[in-house]
Amino acid sequence: MAFDKDSIIASLKEASISDLNDLVKAIEEEFDVSASAPVAVAGAAGADAGAAKDSYDVELTESGDQKVKAIKAVRDITGLGLKDAKGLVDNVPSMVKEGVSEDEANDIKAKLEEVGGVVTLK
């Protein structure tokens, strides 16, 4: 017998909530698994996520005296075109990159500070 996932999905769409509940219980018994998420582990992961920040936003707060070098650095970091990078440097405070890792954020900060920029990590 071939496995036909499309027909199974179609059957599930037509099933009532109580039928689906019975199906879950039957699958749990047959395969000795649990469909419920471990709440204690999920709660602990949420607490750790609040304590340790895993993504940062890099904001250029001052472009410094070396604007041309700052524009080049922004282009290198973001991949923006010349006009967009210039606009970002000219209109500080500006968000350079959002949602990056701590290492990448620190690397970007170092590159921009090397050319005279002032950077804030949020």
Residue whose pair of structure tokens reads 């923006």 in the numeric block? 80
* Residue 68: predicted pLDDT: 92
pTM for the whole structure: 0.55
Sheet holding 56-62, edge to edge: 94-100, 56-62, 118-121
Q: CA nearest 85: which of 69, 64, 107, 105?
A: 69
Query: Please, what's the largest Cα pairwise distance for the chain?
Result: 73
**Encoding tokens for residue 41?**
């582990």
User: Mean pLDDT in the chain?
Assistant: 82
Task: Give me the domains of the chain, ranges plus CATH numbers.
Answer: 1-35 (no CATH), 54-119 (3.30.1390.10)
The pLDDT score that the predictor gives to residue 36 is 65
Tens digits of residue pLDDT in 54-90: 788 889 989 888 889 999 999 998 888 898 889 888 9
Is residue 41's pLDDT more than 50?
no
